[in-house]
Amino acid sequence: MISVTDRHEQDAAGSLARFREQLRRCLTRRADAMFELADAVASAPGRVGSLPGLSLEPEFRRGHGSVYAALTAGRIDESRLRRLLLAAVPAGRERLVWFAGDVSNWPRPEAVCSPQRLMVHDKSARTLAGHPVTSGWP
C-alpha cells in the first residue's frame, strides 16, 4: 500500500516499485543479499570506499560476510537486466541512448575468480613482481 496522495507521485512510486520488483527478478542466486547490496550502493552517501563498509549501510541488513558471499556466489540474468535498464532509459532527441559510468579500475591482482577481469595499468598498484600492471575491471 502506497501512502502517497498526489496522483503524479503515486504513479511515480508505482513505477519505481515495479522497476525494483523487475530488478529483483534479474538476480537469480543470492538475490536478497544482492538486492540489498544494490540498495546500499545506491543509498551510500558519496563514493563507496570498501565492500565491508557497504554492510554498515542501513539498507544492508546482513553481516559483512554476506557482501562477499553475494558477490562470490550471486548470479545475475544479464540479458534480462539489460532489457530492463534499456526499457527504463528515455531516448534522446535522435533516439540515442546515453549512458555514463565510473570507469576507474579496481585492482585485484591475486584474485582467482572473475573471468571478466582485464590487465589494467595502475601506477599505485604493485604486483608480486613489482609491476604497475595488474588484473582488475577497467
User: Which DSSP string do the residues of the chain spell out, in sequence order?
Assistant: -----SHHHHHHHHHHHHHHHHHHHHEEESHHHHHHHHHHHHHSSSS---HHHHTTSTT--S-HHHHHHHHHH-EE-HHHHHHHHHHHSPP-TTS-------------TT-S--TT-EEEE-TT---TT--SEEEE--
User: In this predicted structure, what is the pLDDT of residue 88?
Assistant: 81
Q: Is the pLDDT of residue 25 over 90?
A: yes
User: In this predicted structure, what is the pLDDT of residue 3?
Assistant: 59
pLDDT, one tens digit per residue, over 70-129 is 989 999 999 999 999 888 877 666 667 667 776 666 666 665 666 676 777 776 666 666
Grid cell in block for residue 121: 595499468
Q: Is the pLDDT of residue 1 over 60?
A: no
